[in-house]
Amino acid sequence: MSGILEQNILSLNEEGLLADVLGFETNEVARTAQGALLHTHSGHEFIDFTSGIAVHACGHNHPEVVQAIVQQAREVLHVSDIMRHPPQLELADWMRRRFAEILPGDPFTFLLLNSGSESIDAAVKLALRATGRSRLAAFEGAFHGRTILATALSRSKTIHWQSCSALVDLLRSNIYHAPAPRCSGCQNRSSAPCCLQGMEEYLKQHGADTAAIVFEAQQGEGGYVPLEPAMAQELQKMARKYGVLLIADEIQTGWGRTGKWFGFEYLGIEPDIVVFGKAVGGGLPLAGVAARKPLMDQWLPGEHGTTFGGNPLSCAAGLAALTIMHRDGLVERAAVLGEAVRKRLSAMKGSCGIADVRGRGLMIGIELRDANGKPDYAACDAVKLRARDKGLLLLTCGAKIGSAHADNSCLRVLPALNVSEEMLWKGIEILESALRGD
Ligand SMILES: Cc1ncc(COP(=O)(O)O)c(C=O)c1O
């Protein structure tokens, strides 16, 4: 790009053309990206520990993913629900084989859509259809997306719903939020975990009307808190007892991020519906719903639809990315590297405000608390900015709903699953230095 065009982009960036509601992390403008590195129009280079919010499992612009997109672009760009196309069928076939290994039994069938939020809506619609019920349950600290229904199901940051609470609260009159699943810090650990107590009480009263419990195997926005297997197994027992479907929101945890294909694999449970997104599109917009065929077939043709969902380019890119992950053992690699990163960062626990280092695979949270033991959101932001100044892109997370039980403040470590060890440890060194305030 010539100097003049470069200047033009930088001045356009100053003109308020794009809605600030998205809360862009920086005023930088992306120029090129490759692997773990992102270059911007103002000439900066960043190691990317955000992976486009847990999307780039194979790093930015993996050549095989780009090649798959280019090849597909020459064949079919878009047909919508008019007819099926090869990338959709090939991707679904690949996924069905993976699901058969993880959850043997009736084969899985896939509804391919555009975004995680949209897929959460669809999964809930399917559960309502299949059960004929009208209520839902989820957890405090949960984040399930940005549509109004996904917003009502979520409870991780008050700012996400307060401006539209008049409608969200109407939906929430049919949605129960059990206390945040924080097993390690649970007040009621000596009896039953309080999230389960809450859920049990709700289901005793409303179990016959409840279609589904929606959960994250490791809360994302809520603060990178993994569920405990014992808690998840109790939850499943409860769901089965009341005929309630279990919907796993694997949008962030899915497709290898946690060191297994899906986060629920750590829990010894079998969700009825799995919602996926982010990494599945290899960097293009793709998400969807997986359910066994007899359950998915409860829907009549035409009860749901999409213009762009399961787009040929996204499916081709996604299939290329998943194939690379499988071929190169990136899921197992995420487990090994994640363990090493957690071990190294855990050595800093108790210093620099670090209260906890947690997570599974390469979905790692570093929780900061202040001297009074309160979530230190300001410190997280300060570390993130210091890291950025040193060339490392980080995100934060953590529930912020005014509940001492749910709230926390975390930095997230989310590199690509194929990040080179050199780049990984270089990024970790920057992070450590930013934590120390160097
Ligand atoms: C666990 C979880 N669910 C749902 C969503 C919403 O997905 P999308 O942003 O693709 O709509 C996200 C996005 O961050 C997520 O992390």
Does the beta carbon of 287 lie inside 6 Å of ligand 1? yes
- CA-to-CA distance for 369 and 377, rounded, in angstroms? 8
DSSP 75-141: T-S--GGGS--HHHHHHHHHHHHHHHHHS-SSPEEEEEES-HHHHHHHHHHHHHHHH---EEEEETT
Statement to judge: residues 25 and 110 lie in one domain: no
Does the beta carbon of 220 lie inside 6 Å of ligand 1? yes
The CATH number for 432's domain is 3.90.1150.10
Statement to judge: residues 172 and 133 lie in one domain: yes
Structure confidence by residue, pLDDT tens digits, 232-265: 999 999 999 999 999 999 999 999 999 999 999 9
Q: What is the mean pLDDT of residues 67-95?
A: 98
Q: How much is the pLDDT for 373?
A: 97
DSSP 37-87: EEEETTS-EEEESSHHHHT-TT-BT-HHHHHHHHHHHTT-S--GGGS--HH
Q: Kindly give the distance from the C-alpha atom of residue 368 to the centroid of ligand 1, in angstroms, as a whole number.
A: 23
Element (H, E) at 32: strand 30-34
Does the beta carbon of 219 lie inside 6 Å of ligand 1? no
Q: How much is the pLDDT for 5?
A: 74
* More confident position, 202 or 2: 202
Element (H, E) at 33: strand 30-34
Provide the token pair at 335: 């487990």
Atom of ligand 1 nearest to the CA of 115: 10
**Which of 280, 312, 327 is where one domain is finished?**
327
Measure the CA angle with vertex 286, ends 281 and 292; round to 5°.
Answer: 100
Backbone conformation region of residue 350, classed left if phi is above 0, alpha if psi is from -120 to 50, else beta: left
Three-class secondary structure assignment of 194-229? HHHHHHHHHHHHHHHHEEEEEECCEECCCCCEECCH
Q: What is the model's pTM?
A: 0.97
Residue labelled with tokens 């107590």: 197
Statement to judge: residues 321 and 417 lie in one domain: no
Structure confidence by residue, pLDDT tens digits, 89-104: 999 999 999 999 999 9
Statement to judge: residues 241 and 356 lie in one domain: no
Q: Kindly give the distance from the C-alpha atom of residue 156 to the centroid of ligand 1, in angstroms, as a whole number.
A: 12
Report how many domains make up the chain. 2
Q: How much is the pLDDT for 185?
A: 66
Residue labelled with tokens 């986060």: 263
Instruction: Categorize the per-residue pLDDT at 12 as very low, low, confident or very high, splitting at 50, 70 and 90.
Output: very high
Task: Please check the confidence at residue 290 and state whether its pLDDT lies above 60.
Answer: yes
| Nearest residue to 396 (alpha-carbon basis) of 23, 4, 11, 86 | 23
Structure confidence by residue, pLDDT tens digits, 320-367: 999 999 999 999 999 999 999 999 999 999 999 999 999 999 999 999
- CA-to-CA distance for 137 and 204, rounded, in angstroms? 13
Domain holding 395, by residue range, is 3-61+329-436
What does the DSSP 8-state code read for residue 186?
-
Order of strands, sheet of 135-139, starting from the edge strand that comes earlier in the sequence: 108-113, 287-292, 273-276, 245-249, 210-215, 135-139, 175-178
Instruction: Categorize the per-residue pLDDT at 188 as very low, low, confident or very high, splitting at 50, 70 and 90.
Output: low
Atom of ligand 1 nearest to the CA of 120: 4
Statement to judge: residues 215 and 347 lie in one domain: no
Q: How much is the pLDDT for 186?
A: 67
Q: What is the mean pLDDT of residues 287-294?
A: 98
Does the beta carbon of 151 lie inside 6 Å of ligand 1? no
Does the beta carbon of 222 lie inside 6 Å of ligand 1? no
The CATH number for 305's domain is 3.40.640.10
CB 316, CB 130: distance < 8 Å: no
Q: Kindly give the distance from the C-alpha atom of residue 289 to the centroid of ligand 1, in angstroms, as a whole number.
A: 13
Does the beta carbon of 116 lie inside 6 Å of ligand 1? yes
State how far Cα 354 lies from the chain centre.
Answer: 23
Task: Please check the confidence at residue 187 and state whether its pLDDT lies above 70.
Answer: no
Atom of ligand 1 nearest to the CA of 250: 1
Statement to judge: residues 163 and 309 lie in one domain: yes
Q: Kindly give the distance from the C-alpha atom of residue 252 to the centroid of ligand 1, in angstroms, as a whole number.
A: 7
Residue 276 pairs in a beta bridge with 288
Element (H, E) at 313: helix 312-327
Q: What is the mean pLDDT of the chain?
A: 96
Statement to judge: residues 95 and 114 lie in one domain: yes
Instruction: Categorize the per-residue pLDDT at 1 as very low, low, confident or very high, splitting at 50, 70 and 90.
Output: low
| Nearest residue to 244 (alpha-carbon basis) of 367, 130, 365 | 130
